[in-house]
Amino acid sequence: MSLRSSDLVYSAAIIGAPTIYLANLSLAYALVPWVCTTGHVAVLHASSAIGLLLVLAPLAFGWRLFRHRRDDAAAPPASLSQFLADVAIASILLFALATILQWFTQFAIGPCVT
């Protein structure tokens, strides 16, 4: 069994989405003291927006390869690629939802509630 470039894209999406989410969460926690002292709440929202875009970025590559694999349903290695595509898209969507919910709490509660 050999690795193809599409398998590497799927693996990067499966690992990349949670990594970007956790980096965004860590950055948000690190920014809160500065945001509370300066009052620049927009920086926190910009950080979450950029994090959401970065989490969703692999979806474009994964979706394109996913659609291409659906058309080529011939060889048995395609089933591995299909599985990786399904897991990658599910992982991206799960962590995109987590990022959206994290961003929503910034709107609902606010960063400086004591």
Torsion of CA 17, 97, 78, 9, to 10 degrees: -20
Within a domain: residue 113?
Answer: no
Within a domain: residue 114?
Answer: no
How does pLDDT run across 13-50, given as a tens digit for each residue? Answer: 888 899 999 999 999 999 999 999 998 999 999 999 99
Q: How many domains does the chain have?
A: 1
Amino acid found at 73: A
Reference 7, options 90, 83, 96; nearest CA is 83
Within a domain: residue 81?
Answer: yes
Give the pTM: 0.79
| Structural domain range at position 13 | 5-108
Q: How confident is the model at residue 87 (pLDDT cuts 50, 70, 90)?
A: confident
Within a domain: residue 44?
Answer: yes
